[in-house]
Amino acid sequence: MAEPLPITAVNHVGRTSRHVEESRRFYREVLGFREVARPNFNFAGAWLYNYGIMIHIIESKAAPGVEGEIETRGDHLALHTNDLSQAEKLLAEHNIPFRKNTVADTGLQQIFFHDPDGHTIEIGTYPPTPAYL
């Protein structure tokens, strides 16, 4: 087997946005990210950080848009919580529609919802990472 790339960590996740200011508020006020310095690009956006990961909000007309049901089997950002019921309560207080899901063979409960541009976010209380095969 070939040697893998010398990667040491995930640095950031990019999220395209048609609604930069709304997304900035959502990631700060709902998810608890904090804004960090961003280069002076020639397009709107924001860089936010918390929980060991950075989110880059990037202005783009190609952002997915909020349409249809909340899916559980597509591209998504998954965040860990130790209090899923509190997360559910706060989503309801922010009037954010969500979908609950339970993984049948493990009992793992998840909450899925959209950010202002339709990107799916998952929150769950996950077990430790499984051992390598």
Give the residue with greater pLDDT, 5 vs 96.
Answer: 96
Instruction: Give the pTM.
Output: 0.88
The answer to whether 122 is a known catalytic residue is: yes
Average pLDDT over residues 47-72: 86
- Predicted confidence band at 66 (pLDDT cuts at 50, 70, 90)? low
- In this predicted structure, what is the pLDDT of residue 114? 93
Q: Which of 21, 29, 88, 122 is catalytic?
A: 122
Greatest mean pLDDT range, 64-68, 70-74, 81-85: 81-85
User: Are residues 11 and 49 in contact, defined by beta-carbon separation less than 8 angstroms?
Assistant: no
- Give me the sign of the Cα torsion angle 30, 82, 34, 66: negative
Taking 90 as the threshold, does the pLDDT of residue 86 lie above it? yes
Domains of the chain and any CATH numbers: 12-63+73-124 (3.10.180.10)
Give the pair of three-digit tokens for residue 38: 């961003």
